């Protein structure tokens, strides 16, 4: 018997309705799982840091802060190159903490919080899809110590000790091409005297007495590479000679640059008591052993030995 045109019974119709509603709900839930409703972030925009110093006791305000370390409501949020536009999935009152980051020894793979700059905190009301701008101004932290600050403003600069090399290699002061102020330190190399090691005239002690960080800051412009390190001595045995330990260096740079040398490890590992800062530079050699240029210059400025 033909069933064409026969209406489905009540049970069949109800089952069809239940099935339809089930698949409708399942489809809706599946869509929600695949494409959940997205939160709209708030944003903060952070400008490059400005450093403010006491010029008399802390020297130049020159700095090279390359990253910012961000915490939100006391929880670490991330590290960002500056300037930075940062999305935050939060609204309302928020505490934003910013810490200045530098490249240890100028190496891009070693960004670190610079321990001597003051962390900054801001109370901000975050609003979805709106940008709050922060222009951070930091200072050196209170309680840190400057073993020396050398701005090369007079002839009695700290790098007076000739370790190896010739008298003509001694550091002089020049106003030609100076970074800032009336002068910069200048090291000159030549075909006859292509290498030199220079050290500070004084030794410095207690570098790790109140903390674990020792840095040498400086500005430089250079035609050849230079290495930085320490000469380490046992207390009372300065005249017996010290241990030379090199840490890191910089390559040639035709423009003025800023670098932060982290000396903490070599000072701690030496387990000694007093230290001179030492600089080493030479004209590079060709494969046949000849030097690859007849002369070279290195300019330094704003050299600071900083510790807690």
Give the chain's domain count: 2
Mean pLDDT for 85-106 is: 97
State the CB neighbour count (10 A cutoff) for residue 255.
5
Cα–Cα nearest to 136, from 65, 62, 73, 218: 65
- Say what the pLDDT of residue 182 is: 87
The answer to whether position 15 is within a domain reads: no
Which region among 144-148, 174-178, 282-286 has the lowest average model confidence (pLDDT)?
A: 174-178
Is residue 165 located within the same domain as residue 259? yes
Whether pLDDT at 29 is above 90? no
Of 113, 139, 165, which residue sits at a domain end?
Answer: 139
Is residue 61 located within the same domain as residue 164? no
Backbone φ/ψ region at 113: left (φ over 0), alpha (ψ -120 to 50), beta: beta
Q: Which domain holds residue 102?
A: 42-139
Q: How many CA atoms lie within 13 A of 56 on its CB side?
A: 0
Which region among 104-108, 112-116, 239-243, 272-276 has the lowest average model confidence (pLDDT)?
A: 239-243
Is residue 283 located within the same domain as residue 232? yes
Residue pLDDT, tens place only, 188-208: 999 999 999 999 999 999 999
**pLDDT class of 283 with cuts at 50, 70, 90:** very high
Is residue 164 located within the same domain as residue 129? no
Q: What CA–CA distances, in Å, run from 175 to 55, 193, 265, 295, 300?
A: 19, 23, 35, 19, 12
The answer to whether position 24 is within a domain reads: no
For the entire predicted model, the pTM comes to: 0.86
Whether pLDDT at 244 is above 90? yes
Is residue 165 located within the same domain as residue 262? yes
Whether pLDDT at 288 is above 50? yes
How many separate helices (H) and strands (E) can be counted in the chain? 3, 22
- Say what the pLDDT of residue 237 is: 77
Mean pLDDT for 10-32 is: 48
Is residue 163 located within the same domain as residue 303? yes
Q: What is the CATH number of the domain that holds 150?
A: 2.60.120.260
Of 87, 122, 139, which residue sits at a domain end?
Answer: 139
Cα–Cα nearest to 303, from 16, 60, 140, 121: 60
Is residue 169 located within the same domain as residue 132? no
């Amino acid at each position: 018997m033909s069933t064409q045109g026969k209406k489905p019974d009540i049970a069949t119709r109800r089952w069809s309705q239940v099935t339809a509603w089930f698949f409708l709900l399942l489809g809706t839930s599946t869509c929600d799982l695949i494409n959940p409703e997205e939160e709209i972030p708030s944003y903060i925009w952070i400008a490059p840091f400005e450093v403010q110093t006491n010029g008399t006791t802390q020297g130049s305000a020159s700095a090279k802060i390359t990253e910012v370390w961000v915490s939100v409501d006391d929880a670490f949020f991330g590290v960002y190159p500056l300037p930075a536009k940062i999305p935050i999935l939060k609204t309302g009152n928020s505490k934003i903490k910013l810490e200045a980051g530098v490249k240890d020894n100028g190496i891009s793979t070693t960004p670190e919080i610079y321990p001597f700059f003051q962390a900054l905190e801001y109370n901000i009301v975050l609003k979805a899809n709106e940008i709050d701008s922060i222009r951070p101004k930091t200072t050196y932290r209170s309680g840190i110590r400057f073993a020396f600050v050398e701005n090369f403003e007079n002839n009695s600069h700290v790098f007076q000790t000739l370790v190896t090399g010739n008298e003509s290699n001694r550091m002089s002061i020049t106003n030609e091409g100076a970074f800032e102020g009336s002068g910069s330190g200048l090291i000159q190399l030549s075909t006859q005297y292509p290498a030199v090691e220079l050290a500070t005239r004084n030794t410095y002690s207690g570098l790790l007495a109140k903390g674990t960080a020792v840095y040498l800051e400086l500005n430089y412009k250079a035609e050849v590479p230079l290495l930085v390190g320490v000469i380490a001595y046992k207390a009372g045995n300065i005249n017996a000679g010290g241990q030379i330990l090199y840490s890191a260096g910089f390559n040639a740079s035709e423009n003025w640059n800023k670098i932060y040398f982290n000396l903490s490890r070599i000072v701690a590992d030496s387990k000694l008591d007093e230290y001179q800062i030492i600089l080493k530079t030479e004209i590079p050699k060709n494969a046949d052993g000849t030097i690859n240029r007849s002369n070279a210059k290195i300019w330094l400025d704003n050299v600071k030995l900083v510790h807690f």
